[in-house]
Structure 1
Amino acid sequence: MHSHQAVLQASQLKQNQARAQWLSATLIHWSEQTADAATGHYRLYYSNPARLHIAQDGSMQGEDGKLTLTPLTRFAAKPTQAQFQYLPAGLQFQLQQSPDRIRQLLHSQLIIAKEDSKGRVLSYTHLQHAAALDALYIDAQQATLGVSLPKQDEKNTRTHFQLWAPTAAQVAACVYKNGKAHASQLSPMRFDTARGTWHTALKQNLSGHYYRYLVDVYVPGTGIVRNLVTDPYSISLNTDSQRSYIADLNAASLKPAGWDRQQRPQRVKTATDMAIYELHVRDFSISDDSVPHRDRGKFLAFTHSNAKGMRHLKELSQAGLTDVHLLPVFDIATIPEKNCISPRINSKGADPEAQAVIAKIADKDCFNWGYDPYHYSAPEGSYASNPEDGAVRIREFRQLVQALHQAELRVGMDVVYNHTAYTGQHARSVLDRIVPGYYHRLSPSGKIEDSTCQPCGNTATEHMMMAKLMTDSVRLWAKQYQIDSFRFDLMGHQPRAVMEQLRDQLTADNGRAIQLIGEGWNFGEVANNQRFVQASQLSLNGSQIATFSDRARDALRGGGHGDTPISMRQRQGYINGMLDRPNSSITQAYTQQEKMRAADMVRLGLAGSVASYRMRTADDIERRLQDIDYNGQPAGYASQPGEVVNYVENHDNQTLFDLNVYKLPDNSTSEDRMRVQVLGLGFNLLSQGIPYLHAGSEILRSKSMDSNSYNSGDWFNVLDWSYRSNGYGRGLPPAKDNQQFYPLLRPLLENTAIRAGQTDILSTKAAVMDLLKIRQSSGLFRLSDATEINQRLRFFNTGAQQNPALIVMQLDGSNLPGEAYRRIIVIFNSADTAQSIQIPGLNNLPLQLHPVHQNTVAGDRRIAQEARYDAAHAGFYVPQRSITTFTELN
């Protein structure tokens, strides 16, 4: 034994980490702890049967061969390549081997060892090989992966299989006549050394059959394994995704009647024309008794045009909604596709029974949000009438798309390419069982990163073939299912360059722009562009790709993600008490400066968070929005309004209604709660940029205060299209994510006065519909260029002397082709009392209430009855908690 450096024992070999990385096809970096390279000898050992081990004498044994490595420098240093700056300092080694030789080595078990002069191992590591694979198999980008069926005019009827598995020792295709039969064919596949793909062609048209791949591959720390695995490029599967389905998506049998002739809605010319509604497939219909029982919770529920839910969507569409964004509908790993459980629950108030029942069966019931990807390019089977038949889910999802298109609603998909549900050798892991260690992002020590979802594995879209898988998948959904837009979950974990390439490919494929939006949060192992330039809020300027803005969201609602029970109550927002209605937990009133600061952030949201827009702030200084601080970042960050998504509620965290239960005084009336809800949604709908509504927010949707309902079942995620209940007070929400709030929740959930009745629900719905109509009535609410916003948008009542309860916004429509209004004045009154204001320069104008206000039947009739404009004195009077729009015709 050496002093300070123990010789490693044989039992330690499998547990060591991958601290070495290929930086290119021939360059290796090892983050060795020893700074002086002269203290040992370095060798790269390889073994095709994976038999490397450390013998009792401390030497490496079981190799097929070894290469002596000479460090390029004596002392440790960081890599020079920008994409590897996150790595610790280490030694680098240049391999003097041909590309073909290195390709051969990458099929083997590889270990770098540092040895003493007697050949005893002092330290060793496995290698991360992604960069080498990308460099050596760059032509794989052009490969058509998956299964290709013969075209109708082909004389030779063949079914082609192609799988990218560059480190596999051998691969075979197993073919099955159906989802349950034994294999009818086993075809060895040939390796393409240029592309790293395995391929075979079988002499028949296998449409309607199923298949899997038999892959022999080395798994670090395990050895050579034989995996029977589905295809990452599966377009459909049988029940619970046991086998991949063979089909031509262009086949007439997979298309509903009229599919190729359908008229896609033409309402969206630019991104800011969108008004998006986020909807979960199962939530939409599982409680809708007007849908036949067999179709509830399924794709086919959308085809019942006279059902309550579809009538509701059509009303929204007529008011101005353009897009329905579906929570994940790709193949999901955590929803059983057969024999799932639908528990019977009878609970109310703060009863703990419901959450206890759900906790026992949460992973066996029929519900999950679906952020657990299994196969990215196949529709989810639990939403199909027959998940065993791979054709059914394809056809029925197309029927859903067609039904929404017929309702003049475009269809968007929530896609989750930032992680997979499982990794490694788990039975529901796909990518890692084909090319171990490639598709997921690894830490410098070789651990799979999981910042986006514990215990999931973050995918590495900076790697060539993971980027290809993502782009090929999105392109398939757009082309084959006529998807109109995409929402990317945690898009900040993707490279900007990959997203921009995808944007361009979608336009080329479809002859029109396909809008891309996503969560641009900056966190985790990729934060601050340390591995690549991210597709995040501050990195997407000029990209035409939109990110969700938290600026106005947090100001309106109060607080932010991760609030504690104390802060949840004590951080009121602009709409729910900060101005003039402190709740019982507020120990010190908000200052005038805090109120004005919140109002400024709300104005910033109304201006679309556009960086170049100038506004006088509470300290009486005119600033560009990019020069206003937001938690150490520029508050205004977008180059163009089409790069911002505005929202006050989505599927994550509590609903707006439930957040307001925390924030508002407990004795608030049902009308108070309704007015605050409409205010929040109104600020969202009338902001520049893209408005995003969570399904049910317009009918006061509650999840009984659940802060994370991803696995809370149908009971807490209820949507009631009969409008009898908003879902509040159905029991204590699941303990897993809510137990810390139980002391607060119990008295609140028992308070029956908080529950919304049908009158309040219908009034809220009508008021939100009116706001959608107002937005739709003028292009001034949907300006697509930052220059236009700078020229046409103006705020009054700003600076140090403002009344922070009133936000007065003017939109100038003069000289705007096709615009009906020369001027629009919108006054947002978030105070608990009616307000009046004089605005110099707005006197003697032919202003009238917006026609929607004048003609409303069930909306906010107070506006037509109480709102006034005094032309002689430029005075405006508006009701409490209201949004009033005045117009001047062009």
Structure 2
Amino acid sequence: MANRPFEAYLDQLNVITMIVPTYYYNGQSERFFLEQGADMVELKIIDKVQIEGSVKYACYTPIVPEFGRPHIVLDERLMRTDLQIGEVIRTSEFDDLFYYDGSDLGASYTKEATHFRLWAPTATEVFVKYRPTDSEDVLYVKMFRRERGVYEALISGDVAGAYYQYHLRVNNQWKEAGDPYAKAVSLHSEWSCVLDEEKVAVTTHLLPPFSSPLDAIIYEASIRDFSMHLDSGMQHKGKYSSFLERQTRGRFGQPTGVDYLKELGITHLELLPFNDFFGVSDTQPHANYNWGYNPLYFNVPEGSYSSNPQDPYTRVIELKQMIESLHEEGIRVIMDVVYNHVYIRETSSFERIVPGYFFRQDEFGRPSNGTGVGNDFASERKMARKFILDSLQYWLTTYNVDGFRFDLMGILDIETMNEARKMVDRLKPGCILLGEGWQLNTALAKELKANIANQAHLPDIAQFNDWFRDTIKGSTFNLYDHGFVLGRESLHHEAFQVVGGSIGFGNRQGIFLEPSQSVNYVESHDNYTLWDKLEACFPGEVEFNKKRQRLATAMVLLSQGIPFLHSGQEFFRTKFGVENSYTSSDTINQLDWNRQYENKSTIEFVKGLIQIRKYHGAFRLNSAQAIRRHLIKGASDGGSLVLLLSNVAEYGEWEEILLIFHPSSSKGKVTLPSRPAPWQIIVEGEAAGVDVLREASECLELEPISVVVCVQVK
């Protein structure tokens, strides 16, 4: 309604707020009415407050305005304004009134007809704006309001591949929006697309349920970075299909690609976001780079990774083939998901369809910004939570992924994460859930946030362990801060705590209740690579820096908890000193396969450590109780960390395992625990594996910056 003399907002089911500007009769009104058919229902003024340039009235309405149709409010002068949906949308009463538990939102296709269903409880009119496959004409098909604020339309015939949007009126404004539940989109994500699932079916390779998250060795990579290097040996550079290639070789004949991953021995490949995101052109992907944390469509594969993004079906098929190809090699796939925010709130489908509902607001009604990108997804609201759970279920059942890594999980709420855990346990036992449980300044009560501080309420969800990260390498936010492996030997007490699963020993409080909650890592796609930090802290010390990185990686792989490796960490990946490379070039971000060849001895060392971890269950103790029973901190000269895994024959061939982490740039010495038989050394220098390298008794000389593992056979 143009030129409104005042504004009216439904802020509670029975409360309408009037904002009357002071230029209109000095903001003074005595009575307000709600138009109800031919009648006018008087509203009772229950509060009146002077605000800047206006007077604010809170009015009780004896009848709840009916959602789904327009309403008019009048004052005593019979001046009219339309009733807009206000803060009521963020009340629990609204959530209860309009929660829809159906599994049919979006476009449900059959050859005979397609049902379109959209949850839009505050809309007064909705159309499907529809473009048939055989025409450039745009048709408008009226949608009818059903239960719980869901609008529905039926289009007869086979409309697979047709493009559509929603055209709807909310608060008397017409808007267009894509379908949040879309499964496919047009080029550049301009239209949603009707998908015939039968046309994108691929043969699935079912792996047995995964045993335990503690048995995982997670390797994080970007689909684009993995193959982009000139000497990667892969033909489909930056594409889903690069993961289908086999027997790929680098410049020097070394295995690359998936063959390399299989040889390395990882169990899970965690891939940066591959749902549809903003920042890279579908048709000219080389013109821009982006990690993918700008989500557009949550249930649609990213177009720039497809060989033919103009065909909505191709990207779906290629992503499914990629995942199943990895499954055939015994490698499971963890999907990096970004449910904490959208690219731009104002233009997102969520905000256009149900304004004010899907995003969190602070106490002043401003968008909450714990994410730092201008919006926080309100996961605690019932239909926002439902969307997250529906989306996870779709990826799990349709794309057969094996786990989810939640970006900025601390924005989400505990109940949503625990519901996600229940759902994936039901559908795919052994599915791994892990996330960034950082403390973030979002407008959610602190006791509701899914972060490390509340880990006791998230018992089966793993979290990235910043205590481990910063103890071992130094603060991730201070480039020049030295952690344990950088020679800060005084941290060996802290190192003992984190290597032991961060559960707490002695009088020290842990940050986790169980080791399966701790993701142990020293680098990821975020922040400086460890190699770049080492080069900054110790410029020119190439060989010592390699030793430091080997020591850090050994601590990741031999600690209690879940080990996490950043792709290329095992061959000293560099981003040339760029801390935040999310929009940097391929030159900065690509995995350098020549570097892989140049550092093959270190890769063999890491392979050996992975082999050891898999070989003996003492490195994967499944409870805090078991860790405290078996793990003992030994005595050492100086700041070396000496650990004994004692009486562990029930977990494997070795009765006792001695771990020695020596960060000093000088030689060291350790007195070995006295045993009837000599200690068998399986890790020393650059050699690691389950085979015995040599034996030692009484005393062990330690090389500068080194790790040694000794065992006693039962």
TM-score normalized with structure 2 length: 0.89
Match of 1:264, SS state, is: coil
* Alignment partner, residue 501 of structure 2: 608
Would you say 1:685 and 2:557 are equivalent positions?
yes
Residue 125 of structure 1, CA deviation: 11
Residue 68 of structure 1, CA deviation: 3.0
Match of 1:200, SS state, is: strand
Q: 1:848 aligns with which of 680, 697, 706?
A: 680
Distance 1:642 1:832 in 2: 33
Distance 2:499 2:282 in 1: 44
Cα deviations by residue, 1:82-126 (Å, 9 ceiling, x for unpaired): xxxxxxxx999865434xx35358x66999x9x9x9x9x9xx995
* Alignment partner, residue 764 of structure 1: 602
5 Å-filtered alignment, 1:515-664, equals 515-526=432-443, 529-530=445-446, 533-541=448-456, 543-561=459-477, 563=478, 568-569=479-480, 571-579=481-489, 595=490, 598-610=491-503, 613-614=504-505, 622-623=506-507, 625-626=508-509, 636-664=510-538
Cα deviations by residue, 1:244-264 (Å, 9 ceiling, x for unpaired): 121243x1x3133xx13x242
Distance 2:288 2:350 in 1: 25
* Alignment partner, residue 278 of structure 1: 220
Distance 1:803 1:269 in 2: 39
Distance 1:11 1:145 in 2: 36
Would you say 1:182 and 2:136 are equivalent positions?
yes
Match of 1:397, SS state, is: helix
Cα deviations by residue, 1:316-362 (Å, 9 ceiling, x for unpaired): 4344311000000000022211234x3xxxxxxxxxxxxxxxxxxxx
Q: 2:101 aligns with which of 141, 146, 160?
A: 141
* Alignment partner, residue 378 of structure 2: 460
Residue 763 of structure 1, CA deviation: 2.6
Residue 885 of structure 1, CA deviation: 1.1
Counterpart AA for 1:869:
A
Residue 719 of structure 1, CA deviation: 1.1
Instruction: Verify the 8 A CA contact 2:95 2:381 in the aligned structure 1.
Output: no
Would you say 1:205 and 2:158 are equivalent positions?
yes
Q: 1:254 aligns with which of 200, 207, 216?
A: 200
Give the structure with the larger strand fraction. 2
* Alignment partner, residue 386 of structure 1: 308
Match of 2:535, SS state, is: helix
Q: Which stretches in structure 2 are left out of the alignment for 5+ residues?
A: 36-40, 50-55
Instruction: Verify the 8 A CA contact 2:500 2:631 in the aligned structure 1.
Output: yes
Distance 1:790 1:448 in 2: 45
Counterpart AA for 1:145:
L
Q: Which moved more, 1:379-388 or 1:441-450?
A: 441-450
* Alignment partner, residue 360 of structure 1: none
* Alignment partner, residue 325 of structure 2: 403
Match of 1:826, SS state, is: strand
* Alignment partner, residue 103 of structure 1: 67
Residue 575 of structure 1, CA deviation: 1.2
Distance 1:775 1:860 in 2: 11
* Alignment partner, residue 445 of structure 1: 364
Distance 1:12 1:403, change over 3 A: farther
Residue 389 of structure 1, CA deviation: 1.1
Residue 523 of structure 1, CA deviation: 1.9
Cα deviations by residue, 1:851-886 (Å, 9 ceiling, x for unpaired): xx48x9x7479x987x7621xx4x333322111111
Would you say 1:68 and 2:40 are equivalent positions?
no
Instruction: Verify the 8 A CA contact 1:134 1:464 in the aligned structure 2.
Output: no
Cα deviations by residue, 1:25-45 (Å, 9 ceiling, x for unpaired): 45x6xxxxxxxxxxxxxx635
Would you say 1:419 and 2:334 are equivalent positions?
no
* Alignment partner, residue 321 of structure 1: 266
Instruction: Verify the 8 A CA contact 2:680 2:695 in the aligned structure 1.
Output: no
Distance 1:225 1:287 in 2: 49
Residue 687 of structure 1, CA deviation: 1.0
Instruction: Verify the 8 A CA contact 1:131 1:463 in the aligned structure 2.
Output: no
Residue 439 of structure 1, CA deviation: 0.8
Distance 1:499 1:842 in 2: 48
Distance 1:715 1:701 in 2: 12
Match of 1:710, SS state, is: coil
* Alignment partner, residue 479 of structure 1: 397
Distance 1:373 1:477 in 2: 15
Match of 2:153, SS state, is: strand
* Alignment partner, residue 52 of structure 2: none
Distance 1:382 1:473 in 2: 21
Cα deviations by residue, 1:211-258 (Å, 9 ceiling, x for unpaired): 11111112xxxxx33222210001111111111121243x1x3133xx
Instruction: Verify the 8 A CA contact 1:547 1:645 in the aligned structure 2.
Output: yes
Residue 499 of structure 1, CA deviation: 0.8
Match of 2:424, SS state, is: helix
Counterpart AA for 1:305:
R
Distance 1:826 1:336, change over 3 A: same
* Alignment partner, residue 127 of structure 1: 87
* Alignment partner, residue 673 of structure 1: 545
Match of 2:591, SS state, is: coil
* Alignment partner, residue 53 of structure 2: none
Instruction: Verify the 8 A CA contact 1:492 1:521 in the aligned structure 2.
Output: yes
Residue 131 of structure 1, CA deviation: 1.9
Distance 2:501 2:11 in 1: 43
Instruction: Verify the 8 A CA contact 1:367 1:713 in the aligned structure 2.
Output: yes
Distance 1:845 1:93 in 2: 86
Distance 1:446 1:182, change over 3 A: farther
Distance 1:305 1:134 in 2: 54
Counterpart AA for 2:576:
S
* Alignment partner, residue 490 of structure 1: 408
Match of 1:445, SS state, is: coil
Distance 1:794 1:109 in 2: 74
* Alignment partner, residue 779 of structure 1: 617
Residue 181 of structure 1, CA deviation: 4.8
Match of 1:174, SS state, is: strand
Instruction: Verify the 8 A CA contact 2:130 2:139 in the aligned structure 1.
Output: yes
Would you say 1:877 and 2:709 are equivalent positions?
no
Q: 2:276 aligns with which of 317, 331, 334?
A: 331
* Alignment partner, residue 644 of structure 2: 810
Counterpart AA for 1:808:
V
Distance 1:838 1:133 in 2: 68
Q: Which moved more, 1:400-409 or 1:320-329?
A: 400-409
Counterpart AA for 1:44:
T
Distance 1:245 1:479, change over 3 A: same
Instruction: Verify the 8 A CA contact 1:110 1:126 in the aligned structure 2.
Output: no
Instruction: Verify the 8 A CA contact 1:134 1:463 in the aligned structure 2.
Output: no
Residue 808 of structure 1, CA deviation: 1.2
Instruction: Verify the 8 A CA contact 1:265 1:409 in the aligned structure 2.
Output: no
Residue 827 of structure 1, CA deviation: 0.9
Distance 1:199 1:415, change over 3 A: same
Cα deviations by residue, 1:781-824 (Å, 9 ceiling, x for unpaired): 11122221121222112xxxx545311112235452x6222111
Instruction: Verify the 8 A CA contact 2:649 2:656 in the aligned structure 1.
Output: no
Cα deviations by residue, 1:757-802 (Å, 9 ceiling, x for unpaired): x64x2232222222112211111111122221121222112xxxx5
Distance 2:620 2:564 in 1: 13
Distance 1:129 1:779, change over 3 A: same
Match of 1:522, SS state, is: coil
Residue 383 of structure 1, CA deviation: 0.5
Q: 1:214 aligns with which of 164, 167, 186?
A: 167
Instruction: Verify the 8 A CA contact 2:271 2:333 in the aligned structure 1.
Output: yes
Percent pairwise identity: 27
